[in-house]
Amino acid sequence: MEESAITRERDVILREMSEVNKQHEELVLDHLHATAFQGTGLGRTILGPEANIRSLTKQDLSDYISTHYTAPRMVIAGAGAVDHNQLCDLASQHFGSLPTAPKNGVEVAMDPAVFTGSDIRVRFDSENTAHVALAFQGASWTSEYAFPLMLMQTMLGSYDRTQGLGKNVASQMCQNVAQHELAHAISCFNTCYKDTGLFGVYAVAPDNKLDDMMWHVMNSLVRLVHNPSDEEVERAKVNLKATMLMGLDGHSNVAEDIGRQMLTYGRRMTPAEIFSRIDAVSKDDIKATAAKFINDEDHALAAVGGIHELPDYNWIRRHSYWLRY
């Protein structure tokens, strides 16, 4: 690693950082992780603070590579016109000399993720649009709740006013948002990690519609605890299967899928197995999963922009369950 190359890349990363900070969605989701997993590794951004980028040395990079780039932490995946034995021979030839343990012999301990119910708000009264991300603690890749959460994400769906569907979306939450013009765009996300996850909603909304939008969003989330319909569960199953098959279109996508599954599951799950796992999820599983992760649970929230009408933390926390009199 040449010093000139490191210096050049340092400037590239600083420019990337300034570009990322201009993208509201990236910024809000970084803030969401920072507040949801504060004090742990997942709370830190990929690029890190500017001071670190400016101060990193060649020795820091060498130490990091010798500590983390070991054979058990790597996966080599191939798809398409690949001969398995040839791939194994090439892997052995080019990567066979990789160490199986860090140079100093000390394995890197995983930093456990601790979810903290909290929020972070960056208010700009000069803006008339708000970017809001609301999330509950989700499940890990290997959790029994992983597939029900995927279906819940599909059931809540997404809406964008620039799309031609308008109010004719399948999701009840998105129908309400479209009908009352509560947001420019809204979508549900379900991010899984090794030992935890984030499940929630990201919305871009006018500043004077935030109160109504949050009421509909919380009501839609808690409704999954009590009365999701068989019809929307079945529709979500078909939709999720189609989305997964579309994600396997092309050899590069298949190779990426194999590599990710080897890292997360330790083996490749075929589409047939994934489909059987999706089909096995029932309406009662959806209700039980929603009850565990949403009903009367703490949340994390990040909001940037014109957020003067965004309800406070206690209001949202109170609306994470229904009181029926």
324 pLDDT above the threshold of 90: no
> In this structure, which amino acid lies at residue 155?
M
Q: What is the mean pLDDT of the chain?
A: 92
**Under a CB-based contact definition with an 8 Å cutoff, are residues 290 and 152 in contact?**
yes
What's the farthest any 2 CA atoms get from each other in the chain? 70
Mean pLDDT lowest among 9-18, 101-110, 254-263: 101-110
Per-residue pLDDT at 159 exceeds 80: yes
pLDDT above 90 for 104: no
**pLDDT at residue 109 tops 90:** no
* 263-303 residue pLDDT tens: 999 999 999 999 999 999 999 999 999 999 999 999 999 99
Give the separation between CA 224 and CA 232, rounded to whole angstroms: 11
CATH 3.30.830.10-classified regions of the chain: 3-95, 118-318
Over the stretch 204-248, which tens digit does the pLDDT of each residue have?
999 999 999 999 999 999 999 999 999 999 999 999 999 999 999
pLDDT at 7 over 90: no
54 HSE (CA, 13 A, CB side): 4
d(CA 113, CA 33): 11
pLDDT of residue 63: 87
Strand partners, 134: 201, 301
Nearest to 203 by CA among 295, 106, 269, 129: 129
pLDDT digit string, tens, across residues 299-318: 999 999 999 999 999 999 99
Q: Sorting pLDDT into bands at 50, 70 and 90, what band is 169?
A: confident
pLDDT of residue 49: 87
CATH topology for 118-318 is: Cytochrome Bc1 Complex; Chain A, domain 1 (3.30.830)
Quick check: 325 pLDDT over 70?
no
Q: Which amino acid is at 237?
A: K
Between CA 200 and CA 132 the distance in angstroms is: 10
38-81 tens-digit pLDDT:
999 899 988 888 888 888 888 888 888 888 888 888 999 999 99
Given a cut of 90, whether residue 191 has pLDDT beyond it is: yes
Identify the residue whose tokens are 């029900």.
148
Name the superfamily (CATH) of residues 3-95. Metalloenzyme, LuxS/M16 peptidase-like (3.30.830.10)
Cα of 14 vs its chain's centroid, Å: 24
pLDDT > 80? residue 13: yes
- What torsion, rounded to 10 degrees, do the Cα atoms 259, 263, 266, 272 define? -50
Question: Hey, what are 252's tokens?
Answer: 């590069």
Q: In three state form, how does the secondary structure of the chain look?
A: CCHHHHHHHHHHHHHHHHHHHHCHHHHHHHHHHHHHCCCCHHHCCCCCCHHHHHHCCHHHHHHHHHHHCCHHHCCCCCCCCCCHHHHHHHHHHHHCCCCCCCCCCCCCCCCCCCCCCEEEEEECCCCCEEEEEEEEECCCCCCCCHHHHHHHHHHHCEEECCCCCCCCCCCHHHHHHHHCCCCCEEEEEEEECCCCEEEEEEEEEEHHHHHHHHHHHHHHHHHHHHCCCHHHHHHHHHHHHHHHHHCCCCHHHHHHHHHHHHHHCCCCCCHHHHHHHHHCCCHHHHHHHHHHHCCCCCEEEEEEECCCCCCCHHHHHHCCCCCCC
Which of these, 31, 29, 42, 32, lies nearest to 194 by C-alpha position? 42
pTM of the model: 0.90
Q: Could you give the percent of the chain with pLDDT greater than 90?
A: 71
Q: Which two tokens stand for residue 4?
A: 């000139």
